[in-house]
Amino acid sequence: MDPTQISVNLDGSYHLTDHLERQAFTWTSLSALATDWLSEWRAGESGPAGDFVHAACDGGVPGVVDVLVALAEMADRNADESGWVGAGPIEDLLLYSDHGLRVVDEVAGAAKQRPAFRAALDFAILPHEIGVRLAKLGVQARLLKPLASGEEPPEPDDQA
């Protein structure tokens, strides 16, 4: 059994069950989850909101991009906090999880429609394949390894 289970509920609430700590947490709204996540980051603490966001990114759960948009919009008033969102969970979803290519279209759409999310995305450093896919969708991103002079970016894998 996974020690952390999360769910996004039909009533708009977000739930985390931590089987190791034998605790459960529910946020009644995306705004409440985002507020708690930022509070944990400000305090330099790992807590249930951070665990929820980490599990959502790691699992590529449906609605994860909406969660990241809410974090970015909550953090938009502060450049450092926007950087936490971009170099944190956005980068985790696109670089470290197995779901980056699957959600790239959704990420590009959010970046085009939500300025705070676009600003946070600027802090993420992404692999070439993700950057190429985003560029083809009209969104430029920072790449993990810059292209050498005259080097062409690799073609994306259309299997994703």
List the chain domain ranges.
Answer: 4-143
pLDDT, mean of residues 100-119: 94
Beta bridge partners of 14: 8, 27
Q: Which amino acid is at 119?
A: A
Average pLDDT across the chain, whole number:
88
Lowest mean pLDDT among 12-16, 54-58, 104-108, 146-150: 146-150
The verdict on pTM exceeding 0.75 is yes
Checking if the pLDDT of 67 tops 80, the result is yes
Three-state secondary-structure class, residue 26 = strand
Q: What is the pLDDT of residue 72?
A: 97
Q: What is the pLDDT of residue 144?
A: 76
Q: What is the pLDDT of residue 147?
A: 54
Checking if the pLDDT of 159 tops 50, the result is no
Nearest to 141, CA basis, from 100, 102, 98? 100
Report the half-sphere exposure of 131 (CA within 13 A, side-chain side): 17
Beta bridge partners of 6: 16
What is the token pair recorded at 106? 């959704």
Q: What is the pLDDT of residue 150?
A: 62
For Cα atoms 44, 48, 83, give the angle at the middle one, nearest 5 degrees. Answer: 45
pLDDT, mean of residues 47-76: 94
Checking if the pLDDT of 115 tops 70, the result is yes
Q: What is the dihedral of CA 10, 12, 18, 24, to 10 degrees?
A: -100
Contact 53, 66 (CB under 8 A): no
Q: Which residue has the higher pLDDT, 132 or 117?
A: 117
Checking if the pLDDT of 142 tops 90, the result is no
Percent of the chain with pLDDT over 70: 89
